[in-house]
Amino acid sequence: MEESIRELHGFIDELFDRVKALEERVKELEGLYRGSEWFSPRQALAYLSISKATFYKAVHEGKLPLYKLDLKDSKLVRVKKVDLDQLFKLSE
């Protein structure tokens, strides 16, 4: 009985972790629809509907600049929406 309860608690903890990850993903995607000036690489992929390889190839070739934002203890990499729009116009 106790083992079953522990397994159930483990399952519930895992479920909460998955829900939290999904909530974070939704928040990232919501930025796309609020006219956010800055995108995470993941948001940029969704915005342009391109693969990760294509995205990083554009970065490597200097066609798409990445910006490293140092916020207290965490360093974030972001892309400007203007740069994404410009890249898309150039590749059409």
Q: Which pLDDT belongs to residue 54?
A: 93
With bands split at pLDDT 50, 70 and 90, how would you rate the model's confidence at 36?
low
The answer on 49 and 20 residing in a single domain is no
d(CA 86, CA 38) in angstroms, rounded, equals 14
**What is the chain's mean pLDDT, rounded?**
82
Distance of CA 60 to the CA centre of its chain: 19
The answer on 50 and 18 residing in a single domain is no
For the segment 7-21, what is each residue's pLDDT rounded down to a tens digit? 888 999 999 898 888
The answer on 46 and 8 residing in a single domain is no
Q: Which pLDDT belongs to residue 55?
A: 93
DSSP output for 19-70: HHHHHHHHHHHHHHHTT-SEE-HHHHHHHHT--HHHHHHHHHTTSS--EEEE
CATH number at residue 56: 1.10.1660
With bands split at pLDDT 50, 70 and 90, how would you rate the model's confidence at 39?
confident
Q: Which pLDDT belongs to residue 72?
A: 63
The boundaries of the domain holding residue 16 are 1-34
What burial letters (b/e) apply to 16-25, b meaning 16+ CB within 10 Å? eeeeeeeeee
